């Protein structure tokens, strides 16, 4: 297949790009490099430097490429920042995606795999969360992604536009030679690994008064390779399905303190903790049920254990800063 990957210089998009290339597919990466570097683009992929808000460039890319499908990862991802600057999230995540959809319709492209988020659910009424749970985001980031899902539903109903929306939680781990490298970094596991490497004095915990077993937030962690496989399965399924919505997760949650303890076990390093007040918009528990995609597409995560996920991230982290 010939595939366009937006945000393909990022952590998840870059991993997906490498998986696609390894499986013999042709990939074009479209990225504005706002939180990445040109060196993050996979060798063997065509690269186009551009912003999704630039409709003429997006349409030109699609018209010249004639792609079998589009995988859309380009987005701002910081929930905390979205509660301070919601406008840039609606501009970058929602409005720019509308430009992509308009461009796809205008050029005859009708298959999209959308990198959504479990933040669409907000504070769940029960866990693990099923795909038919209420959609009530508690932060502007989740709302910006949910608005895209609403647009996709209408594009499907009116234009027959085929799409898969994959909602997932915390992504971690690394594949050989490529892992998490956000600029700036804000995700829990690489931040803790920074402490293990001595690059950071401590790890900050935001909130110790959540209704969980140790008072810290509970999250579901999925290995980036398992997530990448789910995206490819979803794209293949769009050849005979018109609308797919799946949760992608481990099905089990870990508290922030349990993640820190796992890093201690894997690295053998001491991890100093600094406690802070809660951040706005952080739900107490987010754990997904992935039974639907397992049953319908045969997806099965290979990295179900947190220590294994962190071990792959630790290997990458050490090489990155060697």
Structural tokens at position 120: 């669409």
Backbone region of residue 215 per phi and psi (left: phi > 0; alpha: psi in -120 to 50; beta: other values): left
Give residue 285's pLDDT band: very low, low, confident or very high (50, 70, 90): confident
The three-state secondary structure class of 154 is: helix
The string of DSSP codes covering 84-113 is T-HHHHIIIIIIHHHHHHHHHHHTT--EEE
Task: State the residue for tokens 């739900």.
Answer: 283
Over the chain, what is the mean pLDDT? 95
**Confidence band, pLDDT 50/70/90 cuts, at residue 163:** very high
pTM of the model: 0.93
Residues 205-246: pLDDT tens digits? 999 999 999 999 999 999 999 999 999 999 999 999 999 999
Question: Annotated catalytic residue: which of 141, 163, 168, 246?
Answer: 141
- Where does residue 52 rank: exposed (0-12), middle (13-18), buried (19+ CB within 10 A)? buried
Q: Would you say residue 94 has pLDDT above 80?
A: yes
pLDDT confidence of residue 184: 73
Q: What is the mean pLDDT of residues 81-90?
A: 96
What is the reported pLDDT for 186? 80
Residue 283 pLDDT: 80
Rounded percentage of the chain residues whose pLDDT exceeds 70 = 100
Residue 182 has pLDDT above 80, yes or no: no
Please tell me whether the peptide bond between 128 and the residue prior to it is cis, using omega within 30 degrees of 0. yes
**What is the C-alpha to C-alpha distance for residues 118 and 125, in angstroms, rounded to an integer?**
14
Mean pLDDT along residues 17-27: 97
Q: Which residues pair with 243 in a beta bridge?
A: 163
What is the predicted pLDDT for the residue at 280? 78
DSSP strand pairing (170-172 vs 253-255): unpaired
Q: How far apart are CA 272 and CA 192, in angstroms?
A: 9
Model pLDDT, residue 196? 96
Cα–Cα distance for residue pair 11/32, rounded to 1 Å: 14
153 vs 112: CA distance, rounded Å: 12
Active site residue 141: yes
Residues 47-62 have a mean pLDDT of 98
The pLDDT value recorded for residue 42 is: 97
Higher pLDDT, 301 or 151: 151
């Amino acid at each position: 297949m010939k595939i366009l990957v937006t945000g393909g210089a990022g952590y998840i998009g870059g991993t997906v790009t490498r998986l696609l290339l390894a499986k013999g597919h042709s990939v074009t990466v479209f990225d504005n490099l706002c939180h990445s570097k040109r060196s993050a683009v996979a060798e063997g992929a065509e690269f186009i430097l551009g912003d999704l808000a630039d409709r003429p460039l997006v349409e030109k890319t699609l018209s010249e490429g004639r792609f079998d499908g589009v995988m859309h990862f380009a987005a701002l991802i910081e929930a905390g920042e979205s509660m301070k600057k919601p406008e840039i999230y609606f501009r970058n995540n929602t409005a720019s995606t509308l430009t992509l959809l308009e461009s796809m319709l205008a050029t005859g492209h009708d298959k999209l795999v959308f990198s959504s988020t479990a933040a669409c659910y907000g504070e769940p009424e029960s866990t693990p969360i099923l795909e038919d749970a209420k959609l009530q985001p508690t932060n502007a980031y989740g709302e910006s992604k949910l608005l895209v899902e609403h647009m996709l539903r209408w594009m499907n109903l009116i234009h027959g536009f085929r799409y898969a929306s994959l909602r997932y939680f915390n992504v971690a781990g690394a594949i050989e030679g490529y892992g998490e490298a956000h600029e700036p970094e804000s995700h829990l596991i690489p931040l803790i690994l920074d402490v293990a490497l001595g690059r950071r004095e401590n790890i900050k915990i935001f909130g110790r008064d959540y209704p969980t077993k140790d008072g810290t937030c509970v999250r579901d962690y999925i290995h980036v390779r398992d997530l990448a496989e789910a995206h490819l399965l979803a794209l293949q399924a769009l050849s005979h399905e018109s609308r797919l919505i799946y949760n992608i997760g481990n099905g089990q949650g870990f508290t922030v303190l349990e993640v820190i303890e796992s890093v201690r076990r894997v690295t053998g390093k001491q991890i100093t903790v600094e406690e802070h007040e809660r951040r706005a918009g952080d739900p107490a528990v987010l754990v997904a049920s992935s039974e639907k995609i397992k049953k319908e597409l045969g997806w099965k995560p290979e990295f179900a254990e947190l220590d294994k996920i962190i071990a792959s991230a630790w290997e990458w982290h050490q090489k990155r800063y060697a």
